[in-house]
Amino acid sequence: MHSLSKLARTSSSLVRLLGPPLSQPMTRRQAHTDLEVPDFSAYRRKGNSDPTAPNSASFEERASFYYLMSGTFGVVGLYSAKKVVCGLIDTMSPAADALAMAQVEVKLEDIPEGKNTTVKWRGKPLFVRHRTPEEIKTEQAVDISQLRDPEKDEERVKKPEWLVVIGVCTHLGCVPIPNAGEWGGYYCPCHGSHYDASGRVRKGPAPLNLEVPFYEFMDGDDKIIVGEEF
């Protein structure tokens, strides 16, 4: 009898500790019906406020809203992309000191007839030659079919009195000597290339004529600007 009461006390302690067995009904949590649902009507578009209206009834209003948003974000996106691309291209542009070297100005009144002046342009020598009437006549009369790199004198000058060429031998890049060589134009002592007073190769290993850069006459032909603006 004593052991039975002890067993009953032990089992009631276990039930308190572990909870009721699964076979017994459990308490159910009740819904909180006292909470107020916020009213978002003020924020809803009028076309969507009627829950019984069909989707097609508010299609145009919604579509115009989406078109407006798409257009706005599209314009903002394009503008941002343009800024990014322009920024990237700017980083690839030459620096201000390089731009300053891009063009060189040469005063022609300082060069006497029959003389050649040499100026530095983009790290290379630039020959500006004031040709005499005899030189002009001689170069214009050359039969270009005899030349290695056939070019008429008229194609190489803008005004017959002025020859502007880059002073770099087209063989291996030496700097030719002005008013020298068998044709009196330029002579490259490195391997013996001769150029005439139009800068055309006449003898030696040079394959091409001296290069004519882009240049323009300015201030009533008193000076030339060599090189293009970036």
Closer Cβ to ligand FES, 186 or 215, answer by number:
186
Name which of 179, 180, 186, 182 is nearest 115 in CA terms: 179
CB of 148 to ligand FES, least distance (A): 13
State the Cα–Cα distance between residues 203 and 171, nearest whole angstrom: 11
Closer Cβ to ligand FES, 133 or 173, answer by number:
173
Closer Cβ to ligand FES, 102 or 174, answer by number:
174
111 class by beta-carbon count within 10 Å (0-12 exposed, 13-18 middle, 19+ buried): middle
State the Cα–Cα distance between residues 67 and 174, nearest whole angstrom: 66
CB of 143 to ligand FES, least distance (A): 24
* Total residue count of the chain as it appears in this document: 230
Tokens of 143: 């039969």
For the chain, how far is it from start to end, CA to CA, in angstroms?
A: 113
Catalytic residue among 2, 32, 130, 191: 191
76 class by beta-carbon count within 10 Å (0-12 exposed, 13-18 middle, 19+ buried): exposed
Largest CA distance in the chain: 149
65: left (phi over 0), alpha (psi -120 to 50) or beta: alpha
State the Cα–Cα distance between residues 168 and 126, nearest whole angstrom: 8
CB of 190 to ligand FES, least distance (A): 4
Closer Cβ to ligand FES, 121 or 187, answer by number:
187
Closer Cβ to ligand FES, 108 or 169, answer by number:
169
191 is annotated as an active-site residue: yes
CB of 183 to ligand FES, least distance (A): 14
Residues that bind ligand FES (CB under 6 A): 169, 171-174, 188, 190-191, 193, 204-206
Tokens of 28: 């159910």
Supply the residues annotated as catalytic.
191
